[in-house]
Structure 1
Amino acid sequence: MKNVLSTLCTVLLLTGCEMTTSSVGYYSYGLEPIPGSITYGGQPRTKLTKAPVGSIVPHQFIGPFGRRVYETYVIQPDRSLRLVSRRYRDFLLFDDDDDD
């Protein structure tokens, strides 16, 4: 019983880590914006008229629970942004970067 319980806990922990730290594929559909995302609450009011269609727009911000979030957007033909990737970095408390 003890062995089964420890195996179950390990599986749950690994599954949770994979869901929060893995990068989503480049052509990922259904990735929803979170607070801090450029498209959270709708598309930005300004259109990106000078950037070519298909251009990549990187964005980083401090997300839920104080984690650094890196997102990637692609400019669509109608000049809207499509969120295609999101990655998380460890908690800022343990972050060595001082570039903020």
Structure 2
Amino acid sequence: MRITIAIAGLVMLLAGCTSDNSGTTAYLDMGPGIRPIPGSITYGGQPRTRLTKAPVGSIVPHEFRNQLGQRVEETYIIQPDRSLKLVSRRVHRGPFWDD
């Protein structure tokens, strides 16, 4: 009887585990298919002003809150035509700022 209870408890414990990292406090988007979201520098098109003093290939970090109040960190790279290319986005899903 004790073995049955122990096995049932172990099964219930393992049933709560997932392999998709849903317990993490952030998720990361990377690659060429990232689309700007409200709050992104390039949302609605490239900014009117160009970064003329920063060298091509420079990394530009950007941090803001999304519509759900989650902290979003984005990384842009300055292209040869001085436009910004969004290369990664991390959305923190936790209830607190991760300072």
TM-score (normalizing by structure 2): 0.71
Corresponding residue of 1:24 = 29
- Deviations along 1:25-58, whole A, 9 cap, x unmatched? 4xx1010000000000000000111100000000
**Bigger Rg over Cα:** 2
Shift of 1:89: 1.7
Structure holding more helix per residue: 1
Return the letter of the residue paired with 1:35: P
Return the letter of the residue paired with 1:22: Y
Match of 2:68 among 65, 68, 92: 65
Shift of 1:10: 5.7
Match of 2:42 among 28, 39, 43: 39
SS at match of 2:80: coil
TM-score (normalizing by structure 1): 0.71
- Structure 1: which 5+ residue stretches go unaligned? none
- The share of aligned pairs that are identical, in percent, is 58
Q: How many residues align?
A: 89
Report if the CA contact (8 A) 2:74-2:90 is conserved. Answer: yes
- Structure 2: which 5+ residue stretches go unaligned? 1-10
**Does the alignment pair 1:51 with 2:54?**
yes
